Amino acid sequence: MRKIAVFASGTGTNFDAIQASIEKGQLDASIELVVVDKLDAKVIEKAKAKQIDTFVFNPKEYASKNDYERVIVEECKRRGVEWIVLAGYMRILADALLEAYPNHIVNIHPSLLPAFKGKDAIGQAFNYGVKIMGVSIHYVNAEMDGGKIIAQRCFDVVDGMTHDEAEAKIHAIEHQLYPETLKKLLEEK
């Protein structure tokens, strides 16, 4: 069984999907820690309800990104975490985490990378008028949404589709693709 840490900043719907996959026996892993950078994020209560440890921090209380990342690395190492899974974590990682977990940090992004990197990728793609949208899972490096792509899944944007409908389709794909991809990754390495 692989030990993972999930990093999140919001409601935790991808956390839910990963945890559900573990509980169903589809993913041979355990979430040892949920790292959260927003004190009011809903994912905190979800993790506590599953009796999963959380590390909740305010980045402004640290002198630098590497300072709080060193604390996160200590928390992860103490629990034997092998993989870091970013699931709606809205921060670019610094050297402390990247060096501690080389090629063992993955992220999910709501676009077909390399297009529409960064914030509001769904809005960027929708406003651009793309005919195909989708989800990418990639390794994390120092470049925002720039690591090697591991998996992608797409869908056609049909005439009349609203932004909300596209977003719902993206989330449905995320919740299926992320656990499937993690299963393959954790079994391979």
- Taking only the tens place, the pLDDT of each residue in 62-88 is 999 999 999 999 999 999 999 999 999
CATH of domain 2-188: 3.40.50.170
Distance (Å) of CA 61 to CA 35, 37, 64, 123 = 16, 11, 9, 32
* pLDDT given at position 84: 98
Which pLDDT belongs to residue 189? 65
Are 97 and 19 contacting, i.e. CB atoms less than 8 angstroms apart? no
Active site residue 175: no
What does pLDDT average to over the chain?
Answer: 95
pLDDT above 70: residue 99:
yes
Task: Identify the pLDDT of residue 12.
Answer: 95
| Amino acid identity for residue 168 in this structure | A
Which residue among the candidates 109, 138, 171, 175 is catalytic per the annotation?
109
The CA distance from 132 to 99, in Å, is 35
State the Cα angle at 16 between 12 and 19, rounded to 5°: 130
Q: Render pLDDT for 127-155 as a digit per residue (tens, 0 to 9).
A: 999 999 999 999 999 999 999 999 999 99
Q: How many contiguous H segments (helices) and E segments (strands) does the chain have?
A: 6, 7
Question: What is this structure's pTM?
Answer: 0.94
Specify the pLDDT at position 15: 97
pLDDT of 41 higher than 70: yes
Q: Using the predicted structure, report yes or no on whether residue 188 has a pLDDT greater than 90.
A: no
Write down the domain spans for the chain.
Answer: 2-188
